[in-house]
């Protein structure tokens, strides 16, 4: 362990963990093949004739010297334990219904604070991480600091503060992890994470238009997730690769 400042509690001259997860380890369950590897797609690394945008790493990704033992083992772990229970071990999440031509799934027994802060902790860790997988997630300092305080003090604030849309991908779509990105390059207001059958859309800042949406963590005790259509993930990945190709072609012309 190295000695330094914990990025969460900001204590100085404290032992820092050599391995802190950015994406919780439980999100990798079911992803690994017989060799212990999983699919990681980095569309922005696409180069024609190569497969460098397709990775098969071992296990979860770690970052060193981010957190002290107390913050990682007590604060972050408590959020991750709750997230795992609500998203992957929830026995009250089997009701699927159709509305407006779309499929939805109801998750009950949802703890608003734990779910929201658990997901925001992933966003915050991605923003402060140095790994190339998270290079597109650079939240402005003011919002990054506000997220840190929310996570540290267990304060989920109001529903309209940093709302998170949660979607479930079709069960037959490939299970993978892709590098998170901002969907709006100009304002950096919407960050997208695709992780093992789920898609999370983080709204950076305050937006009251989502306050009544049942698809964001709220105080009702349940959340209704839209299930994306079959092949949505495959088509979405190809669209991202297409944009990378167009960007490369544009740069070559210049």
The pLDDT, as a whole number, for residue 53 is 43
- Mean pLDDT value across the chain: 82
- SS3 for 230? coil
Residues 12-21, mean pLDDT to the nearest whole number? 92
Q: What is the 3-state secondary structure (H, E, C) of 20-84?
A: EECCCHHHHCCCCCCCCECCEECHHHCCCCCCCCEECCECCCEECCCCEHHHHHHHHHHHHHHHH
Residue-level pLDDT at 152: 98
Interstrand relation of 190-195 and 198-203 (parallel, antiparallel or unpaired)? antiparallel
CB-based contact 173:231 (threshold 8 Å): yes
Q: Is the pLDDT at 165 greater than 60, yes or no?
A: yes
Whether the predicted pLDDT of 249 surpasses 60: no
Among 130-144, 159-173, 231-245, the least confident range: 231-245
222 has pLDDT over 90: yes
According to DSSP, residue 27 is labeled: G
| Residue 250 to residue 244: CA distance in whole angstroms | 10
With a pLDDT cut of 70, the percent of the chain lying above it is 78
Residue 107 clears pLDDT 50, i.e. is over it: yes
From 199, 194, 214, select the one nearest 168 (Cα to Cα). Answer: 199
**pLDDT, position 141:** 95
Q: Quick one: pLDDT at residue 54? A: 42
């Amino acid at each position: 362990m190295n000695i330094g400042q914990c990025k969460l509690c900001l204590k100085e001259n404290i032992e820092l963990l050599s391995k802190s997860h950015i994406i919780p380890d439980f999100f990798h369950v079911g992803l690994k093949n017989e060799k212990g590897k999983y699919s990681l797609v980095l569309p922005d690394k696409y180069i024609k004739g190569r497969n460098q945008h397709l990775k098969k790493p071992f296990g979860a990704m770690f970052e060193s010297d981010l957190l002290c033992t107390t913050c990682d083992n007590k604060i972050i772990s408590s959020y991750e334990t709750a997230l795992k229970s609500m998203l992957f071990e929830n026995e009250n999440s089997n009701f699927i219904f159709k509305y407006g031509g779309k499929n939805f799934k109801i998750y009950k027994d949802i703890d608003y604070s734990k779910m929201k802060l658990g997901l925001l902790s992933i966003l915050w860790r991605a923003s402060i991480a140095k790994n190339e997988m998270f290079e597109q997630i650079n939240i402005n300092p003011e919002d990054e600091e506000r997220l840190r305080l929310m996570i540290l003090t267990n304060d989920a604030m109001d529903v309209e503060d940093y709302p998170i849309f949660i979607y479930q991908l079709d069960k037959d779509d490939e299970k993978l992890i892709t590098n998170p990105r901002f969907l709006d390059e100009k304002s950096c207001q919407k960050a997208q994470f695709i992780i093992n059958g789920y898609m999370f859309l983080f709204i950076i800042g305050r937006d009251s238009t989502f306050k009544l949406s049942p698809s964001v963590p709220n105080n009702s005790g349940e959340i209704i997730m839209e299930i994306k259509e079959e092949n949505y993930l495959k088509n979405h990945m190809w669209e991202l690769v297409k944009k990378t190709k167009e960007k490369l072609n544009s740069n070559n012309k210049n």
